[in-house]
Amino acid sequence: MNSDFIWLGIGLLGQALFSMRFLVQWLASERQRRSVMPIAFWYFSLAGGATLLAYAIYRADPVFIIGQITGLFIYTRNLHLIWRERKAHADEAARAVPEAQSSPVTSTLSGGS
C-alpha cells in the first residue's frame, strides 16, 4: 500500500477525531439546555490534535505543526486542571466523612471505649 494513502487516512482520522469534539459538546449542551464543556471534548481535542500533528510532521508543514503543538499544550493543560479539581473535590469529600462513623474495632484499637 502506498504510504501517501496511509498518511491521508491518518490525516482524515485526526480530522474526524478533532471534529467529534464539536458534536460531543453540542449534544451535551442540548441535553442540559445550557452551554457545557464535557471532558470528552478535551479528550477528542487531544486525540485529534496528536493525530493531526503526526500528519503535519509527515507533510513537513511548519504552520500546521506549530498550530497543533500549541493546541496540544492547551488541551493537556485543561485536562490537568480538570483532574486537579476532581482530586481536590475527592479529597474534600474524604475529609468530610465524620470520624463518628469509624468502626468499633478502630475505636477500640485507638484507645476509645
Provide the residue-wise pLDDT of the chain in tens; the chain has 113 residues: 789 899 999 999 999 999 999 999 999 999 999 999 999 999 999 999 999 999 999 999 999 999 999 999 999 999 999 999 999 999 988 888 765 455 555 545 555 55
- Domain spans of the chain, in order of start: 3-94
Using alpha carbons, select from 112, 39, 24 the residue that is nearest to residue 75.
39
Q: Collect contacts of 21-30 with beta carbons under 8 A, ≥24 apart.
A: 21/45, 21/48
Distance separating alpha carbons of residues 69 and 81, to the nearest angstrom: 18
C-alpha cell at 97: 466523612
User: pTM score > 0.85 for this model?
Assistant: no
